[in-house]
Amino acid sequence: MTGPALRALKENLPGSHLTLMASPGGSLAAPLLPWVDDVLEWRVVWQDLGRLPLDPARELQMIEALGAGGYDAAVVLTSFKQTPHPAGYACYLAGIPLRLGESKEWGGGVLTDEVPAAPDGLHQAERNLRLVEHAGFGVRDRSLGLRVPEEARGAVASLLEGRGVGPGSPYLLLNPWTSARSRNYPTDRFALAARRVSDEMGWPVVVSGTEGDRERGGALLGPLGDRGVDLIGQTDLAGLAALVEGAALLLTSNTSTMHIADALGTPQVVLFAGTELEGQWRPRDTPHRLLRRETSCSPCYAFTCPYTQECLDIPPGEVADACLSLLSEVRAHA
């Protein structure tokens, strides 16, 4: 979601050195963002869920690291429910003279340029671009964008070929899991939907995920039978991007893979839970279908559903129909 804003900053300031400060997970995306020159990786306490121990020395080290960068300005990119002021204050203590952010509340002199908050329903990429435009910069391209490293393409091609999927062969990529249980469509339903698409199209189903997904992968791979290609835990983020780039269709949940597909132009069907507003995160440029049931509790922003996930009560046949309909539409416009 930060890519369009980073692109705009770099295009308007071509001689600048752009450092991305991100969490360990977020920093993995840096090699895919050609506008980023450097990464400052840090687990910041204002985004912590209570897992970091009390350690003021760690925070002072962060201030020291920020100060050592000699930065002229800091652009604090936040979602609609985040405040820019902790990050802005850290930049203030580090001696960064210009500090730009969007805020719903007053933060004193923490930010040198405080932009009034956008409507909550604004797409996150547009929220970030709005901040850049407020600083007076033009925006040439509002779309998401990623650069897939050639070495990642080569590594993924070798993985696929070793499992019988030759160069240029179409495949359905199934990336079913998210970090929040509330956003996970039932694994057995994913398997049934993917198997039907595979049977209709004659394609293999490539299953991706992290090493932590391996235990639950068995329930998915079993029903896929010989159509399943197990790449769970076999790729890093760049490799996942290469898999998405090469797929004829992505079947996924509302997770980072959805944004990767939007950046790379891969058609996708998304099981979009009621945890968030669709308008904040939905694909904007790639052919897609979003599937969900309207519920009174949406958006809940919960990690665990206290009910029975009515928002994802979608039969696998309906999911498969959406996949086949989208593929037919894509072929008609090819």
At 251, which CATH number?
Answer: 3.40.50.2000
Residue at 140 is within a domain = no
Q: Is 59 contained in some domain?
A: yes
**Are 179 and 255 a contacting pair, CB within 8 Å?**
yes
Rounded to whole angstroms, how far apart are CA atoms 256 and 262?
Answer: 10
Q: Are residues 156 and 291 in the same domain?
A: yes
198 within some domain: yes
Q: Convert the pLDDT of each residue in 159-208 to its tens digit.
A: 999 999 999 999 999 999 998 899 999 999 999 999 999 999 999 999 99
**98 and 215: one domain?**
no
Same domain, 216 and 317: yes
pTM for this entry: 0.95
What does the pLDDT read at residue 216? 85
- Domain boundary pick from 101, 134, 167: 134
Mark whether 184 and 305 lie in a shared domain: yes
Domain end position, chosen among 82, 108, 134: 134
Is there a contact between 113 and 130 (Cβ–Cβ < 8 Å)? Answer: no
- 147, part of any domain: no
Confirm whether 141 is domain-assigned. no
Do 194 and 129 share a domain, yes or no? no
**Tokens 């209570």 belong to which residue?**
50
In a domain, 30, yes or no: yes
Res 154: pLDDT: 98
Low-confidence ranges of the chain (pLDDT < 70): none
**Buried b or exposed e, range 117-130, using 16+ CB within 10 angstroms:** bbeeebbbbbbbbb
Residue 307 pLDDT = 93
| CA–CA distance, 274 with 306 (Å, rounded to integer) | 13
My answer on whether 12 and 103 are in the same domain is yes
- Crossing angle of helices 85-93 and 56-68, in 10° steps, is 70
Residues 172 and 308 in one domain: yes
Tally Cβ neighbours within 10 Å of residue 214.
12
Distance, CA of 171 to CA of 247 (rounded, Å): 6
Both 129 and 164 in a single domain?
no
CA distance 323 to 289: 8
For 56: left if phi > 0, alpha if psi spans -120 to 50, otherwise beta; the answer is alpha
Q: What is the pLDDT of residue 333?
A: 87
Phi, psi of 99 (to 5 degrees): -140, 115
Backbone angles phi, psi at 259, to 5 degrees: -70, -35
Predicted pLDDT at 218: 85
Domain stops at, among 134, 167, 200: 134
Residue 180: the pLDDT is 87
Number of domains, the chain: 2
Query: Which structural domain range is residue 54 located in?
Result: 3-134
312/264 same-domain check: yes
Residue 145 lies in a domain: no
Task: Identify whether the C-beta of residue 53 lies closer than 8 Å to the C-beta of residue 43.
Answer: no
Q: Per residue in 234-277, pLDDT tens?
A: 999 999 999 999 999 999 999 999 999 999 999 999 999 999 99
| Residue 217, pLDDT score | 86
Domain assignment present for residue 45? The answer is: yes
Are 188 and 247 contained in the same domain?
yes
What contacts 14, CB < 8 A, 6 or more positions away?
none
Both 78 and 193 in one domain: the answer is no
Q: Taking CA 210 as the corner, what is the angle to CA 206 and CA 211, rounded to the nearest 5 degrees?
A: 110
Do 186 and 262 lie in one domain? The reply is yes
Q: Which two tokens stand for residue 122?
A: 């604004």
